[in-house]
Structure 1
């Protein structure tokens, strides 16, 4: 077989795939944006020019519209229709189903999760054990964050330049999350803190496999990604082994105390003890199978908590470092609160950090992805209010930045950085603000609807306490003195690759 024959064979295979995979659009579906290249569709531009692609399509074809990406049609919902997706989640649209199609992270934890609806169980656990009792954790979070700040930033008597702020922040943030999830004693285990911090990198190793097989069928991509797991490569097993080594005796003692004390047992202030009190986790025998289940629920939440909080915090620091016009008012607010607390920070003090919280919220808004939060349609079909209908299985991506920068929600100044937009002052002098943890149509950093991120209250608490301490102790700036360009990967926005400079305020 010569080169011409090989070329003809390849062309024939590609042509057959094109015929098989050629998108079929049903009646009344959102408009499928025309594309130039068969099979590839909009994939290349989606990966390398997502911002302009999404903006152009929304302007020309309305909301929602559809693109042909990685061998399938995906619908994109912007400011006009995204709230419908959130309102109907998880009964009609489900985020976790879509994630598992695009990147089967659930497969990593499958052997450890006992609940068919693990997200609902996680939300219930976090709401009951953390969100309603956040005041119990404030001083512990403050102590752990101060420890991390001292360890990784120190005095900064001259100046300290930090290039990869994400990795530093991940280690700092992991410690209070370990404290809240596993208890104060656990936060003293450096290896557990490093495990919580390093979990993100180990899970995302699966993303090293390019999604080429999605062009043929999602199931083939899923099989390719999960093949290493089936062959014995399990990146989180070392975390599981460490968890059992550190916590088997602790769990055994807590189970024993429950049996001995019965109703007199006093619930400890951490997520671990709450999970142990749930019916599905009541046991008299703490074996490896039971510890696997316990590991699954704790570490699945740890992955989400550390990853999201670290990413948002890094974004906020770069926004703060490049916007000196806001330094004075934020510093004065934190200094006033510091003078009130007498070294005993409480939840009420954190609630007074209004200007700081509004700055963080505006940083989130300004740093939104171009498209994210995919949801899969579970029902046979769904018709948007504008009459567009999509079929079962269709993945709907949210045009995140179109929502967060929409003039529908933020007026003519929607593209300007204005933290004060989240504060309302009434004629009588009363001031209220829109909290960072409250989701609405224009604020979807934590998702929306009933399945909005349950950890957003803890994340908000940690972010404010961390920034409070940093602002009081350091001058933080970018090398350029301005907000540096953010790193863009496909539709996702990350903190700039440049460095941040920390200088001690007292020197």
Structure 2
């Protein structure tokens, strides 16, 4: 019996070695040096992510690999990020997402196989209809309940189906709507006054019920720029994980094997002066007003919604939702941070979360 086990083990090891030698050796990205086995770069990745990734890029170049959570992950900088986003035959965001959150096991129809058809049949042709219905819910909920003091009685939110439905829609539409808290945090007196004046002008287009026509969204130039800039500066350091579908060679000659995972260094894109303009690290709410670049537009300098033909199909609806929501908020309330300053993001590893600083909301005196 022992002889059989030993012989079987020898055969398995032999087959493994032969397979390794037969497989062509790839020109892999450099692996960042580390000292502690198993842990690797995990500690620096979690507790000093911004400086750690920045230093790695400085030493190893645009594409490099790090060892985190017991696995090797490759980081791709701004120069080669478009290859990951546009080569859908070689990289898959969906596969990487399912490997992290197995929605296919929970939801029967979780996957979308034909995004262009989805956009054409269900999104673009119905934006006007969806926006009108959504605006009515938002408008009604904000007018009735936003200034209700929930501490005066039982949990009122459980009694108002309209509020629950409205904000449940926020969550289900797009995770980007989690960015609404930092949008509110970014309110600053000098900016808020300009936004208020713009929304007053836009609101002249409203009907007798206070509802705006869909076309009014195009006149919210400053608000749109404000949203795009807020989302740009509150994003993650690394994002848009993609799984490699087949052995792939980047244009610089570096190669990745099938089933490897890459992360895009989006902070490298958002902090680049050539891509963002002067002072890319500073919050300039009206940076995009004259650029003809709406908050929903994707490109080499803005990847919040992904890129290529697999970019988020709900981005237009999500931005419209934020605009209608903030339009009502700005007209009805004065908002500022408790500290009186523009609060930055909170980081958990390379993942960004809204600031925990308090927000002061005061009803406008007419």
TM-score higher than 0.5: yes
Match of 2:105 in 1: 107
What is the deviation of 1:191? Answer: 10
Q: Is the 8 A contact 2:273 2:279 kept in 1?
A: yes
Q: Is the 8 A contact 1:63 1:78 kept in 2?
A: yes
Q: Is the 8 A contact 1:138 1:346 kept in 2?
A: no
d(CA) in 1 for partners of 2:315, 2:327: 18
1:126-148 superposed Cα distances (whole Å, 9 cap, x missing partner): 54223222122333222111222
The number of residue pairs the alignment matches comes to 335
Task: Extract unaligned runs of 5+ from structure 2.
Answer: 1-23
Q: Residue 193 of structure 1: which of 165, 175, 192 is its match? A: 165
Matched residue of 1:443: which SS?
Answer: coil
Q: How does 1:439-458 map to 2 (within 5 A)?
A: 439-458=298-317
Q: How does 1:240-279 map to 2 (within 5 A)?
A: none
d(CA) in 1 for partners of 2:133, 2:166: 18
Match of 1:505 in 2: 364
Report runs of 4+ in structure 1 exceeding 3 Å deviation: 121-127, 188-192, 194-197
Matched residue of 2:286: which SS?
Answer: helix
What is the deviation of 1:344? Answer: 3.6
Match of 1:215 in 2: none
TM-align CA RMSD: 2.7
1:63-114 superposed Cα distances (whole Å, 9 cap, x missing partner): 011101112211111211111100112x2100111122233333322xx22x
Pick closer, same or farther for the CA change 1:122–1:196 going to 2, 3 Å.
farther
Task: Extract unaligned runs of 5+ from structure 1.
Answer: 1-24, 162-167, 172-187, 198-301, 425-431
What is the deviation of 1:189? Answer: 5.2
d(CA) in 2 for partners of 1:368, 1:314: 13
Q: Is the 8 A contact 2:135 2:211 kept in 1?
A: no
Q: How does 1:218-237 map to 2 (within 5 A)?
A: none
Q: Is the 8 A contact 2:335 2:359 kept in 1?
A: yes
Q: Is the 8 A contact 2:345 2:355 kept in 1?
A: yes
Between Structure 1 and Structure 2, the one with more helix by share is 1
Pick closer, same or farther for the CA change 1:44–1:345 going to 2, 3 Å.
same
Which deviates further from its counterpart, 453-462 or 78-87? 78-87
d(CA) in 1 for partners of 2:283, 2:167: 36
Is it true that 1:135 corresponds to 2:128 in the alignment? yes
Pick closer, same or farther for the CA change 1:191–1:152 going to 2, 3 Å.
closer
Pick closer, same or farther for the CA change 1:54–1:456 going to 2, 3 Å.
same
Matched residue of 2:336: which SS?
Answer: strand
What is the deviation of 1:303? Answer: 5.9
Match of 1:316 in 2: 183
Q: Is the 8 A contact 2:45 2:350 kept in 1?
A: yes
Match of 1:96 in 2: 94
Q: How does 1:6-405 map to 2 (within 5 A)?
A: 27-89=26-88, 91-109=89-107, 112-113=108-109, 118-121=111-114, 124-154=117-147, 193=165, 196=168, 304-309=172-177, 311-320=178-187, 323-342=188-207, 343-379=210-246, 381-405=247-271
What is the deviation of 1:497? Answer: 1.6
Match of 2:8 in 1: none
